[in-house]
Structure 1
Amino acid sequence: MTSEHYPPRADLEAAFQAVRRARVPQIPDVVLALREELTRPEPCVKVAADLIAQDPALTGQLLKMINSPLFAARTKISSVQQAITMIGIERLTNLVTASAIQRMLSANDGAARIVWESTMEQAQVAVAIAERVPEVSADTAYLFGMMQNVGSLIFADLLTDYGTVWALRNISAPDDLLRYERTALGIDHATVGFLLAGNWRLPEPVALAIYHHHSATAADLDDPETRALIAISKLSHYLIALSLGIHEQPEMLAYRDAAWQELSIRDEDWQALCEQAMQGGWTH
């Protein structure tokens, strides 16, 4: 990636100032330690399992997530060691990170609750899409889906009318939402999300996809996983718009077409996604 694919320093400074003003929870140490273990040439399975075991509540939430209809495990997974054996350390770490973020952020209320519930729906749609394309694993799509709007959760804490603006613009007119954010705070949620993704040591493709998930020039990015995540985000917007009957908006049609150009989706899988959208269900 070249420098133009990353936020300018001035934007990162503005994002930092916004984060300083809000109540931002700290990601658990176990997540940071797991991501540190992943950077080693040969990550140790026992070290990873022992780290997760230090947080029994997180372990329970992780196993509940893995065994949920959303991920449709072929065999019931009853331990962290079994999970590592079946899906590997990297994918398990993504799910641990997603579980920790969900625990951190799900207690929000007011405007933040509106943002959070919408974000969780988008994360579920992202998994449904990822299961039908070869470019991205379901765990990476879920982690990205949960994180792409984390900046909006910060803004919900800073702007009294943010929940209303989000509800009106997030799905059908995201460009309007970004303009509103920049006018009100001098920065947008995508840049704040990129900053937090870096602070929480998320994989670089996820961080970059967060920054570019509303970009019209994502095709210029070199990394195919980053491009695929952005396409999944745009397609999730379109499918949710379809479920609401507002998918004919020009912005949503552009999102659909951009995703089609990037992702390898078979016609029958596309039909299944559209039917699932119109039935309003993503977890079964």
Structure 2
Amino acid sequence: MTMPFQRPIASLYPPKAALETAFQAVRKARVPQIPDVVLALRAELNRSEPNVKVVADLIAQDLALAGQILKKVNAPIFARRAKIASVQQAVMLLGIDQLVNLVTAAVIERMLGDAKGSARVVWESIMEQARVATTIAGLVECISSEEAYLFGLMHDVGSLIFADLLENYGYEWVLRFGSPQSLMEHERAALGVDHATVGFLLASTWQLPEHLALAIYHRHAFDYRGLEDSRVRSLIAVSQLGRYLIALALGNHEQPELLTYRDHARQELALDEDEWAALCKQAQEGGWSPLNGMG
């Protein structure tokens, strides 16, 4: 039986009119600019032959950022076999792509982590989803833990914008957590655009990879398995499965949208029964707390 919320993907990219509305919403909110170091790192990453020394030097110029990165790369959730003691060592062991993903994630945390009021409710949920996404990614080969963590931070960043613009948005966020389509309908009714479109716009503006921006835009889709780029599908699957597992921990996981999320994501990620059982057990035992994650 086809559920009423199962809508086909009409286009790979947001319509121009939706992006224009998203831009107007972002202009009204307090959205910080991405620091130059991230733009410089991504520019180096996009070169035909990125320079490891240039990447390490760019990070090392910001002592606070370098310290934050070393703390992150050694966090238990990433399950390193040995402690990484320097930025240079991190570049060599992780590769430029994944280190730049971690730097971007660290900068976004620094930019957005002081949220207050309704935005704080959304931010704490985003952080939890990022930890869950990282844990899931550790079980599969199709996505790195570092990229999953960055995506986990970014995929609901549009909701932080709405929390700044809409009264009682934190309440709506919690109330509709198990029904994302209902939340987006609420957003469209209030501002003419949804958080997935705003998230796509911000990811593009901050020069994140295109496949990550597309995964943000389609993260609530139910037929994403037809998308050609396997990286987009993997990110969406990790995100949707994470949402289901958080709802499982809260005892609010039997809603139709979440069950569809679970079934499609398990198939896309090819999780075996033991891996799935372990994830469910971890969720039910409160395994997504900051003490077990990034903090």
Alignment-derived partner of residue 123 in structure 1: 130
Please report the RMSD computed on the Cα atoms of aligned residues, expressed in angstroms. Answer: 1.2
Q: Deviations over 1:115-148 (max 9, x none)?
A: 0000000000001110111110000100000000
Alignment partners' CA distance in 1, 2:226 and 2:39: 31
Alignment partners' CA distance in 1, 2:270 and 2:135: 14
Alignment-derived partner of residue 219 in structure 2: 213
Moved over 2 A (4+): none
Matched, 1:29 2:33: no
- Partner residue of 2:255 out of 225, 230, 249: 249
Alignment-derived partner of residue 161 in structure 1: 168
Matched, 1:189 2:195: yes
Q: Percent identity?
A: 62
Tell me the SS of whatever aligns to 2:27.
helix
Alignment-derived partner of residue 144 in structure 1: 151
Alignment-derived partner of residue 258 in structure 1: 264
Matched, 1:80 2:87: yes
Alignment-derived partner of residue 50 in structure 1: 57
Q: Deviations over 1:158-208 (max 9, x none)?
A: 0111011001112x1111101000000000000000000001111111110
Equivalent residues of 1:134, 1:264 under 8 A apart: no
Query: TM-score normalised to the size of structure 1?
Result: 0.97
Alignment partners' CA distance in 2, 1:221 and 1:254: 17
Tell me the SS of whatever aligns to 1:4.
coil
Matched, 1:228 2:234: yes
Give the count of matched residue pairs: 282
How far residue 38 of structure 1 moved from its aligned partner, in angstroms, is 0.6
Matched, 1:174 2:180: yes
Structure 2 residues without counterparts, runs of 5 or longer? 1-8
Query: TM-score normalised to the size of structure 2?
Result: 0.94
Alignment partners' CA distance in 2, 1:157 and 1:248: 30
Alignment partners' CA distance in 2, 1:223 and 1:142: 19
How far residue 3 of structure 1 moved from its aligned partner, in angstroms, is 9.0
Equivalent residues of 1:122, 1:236 under 8 A apart: yes
Alignment partners' CA distance in 2, 1:20 and 1:200: 15
Equivalent residues of 1:238, 1:247 under 8 A apart: yes
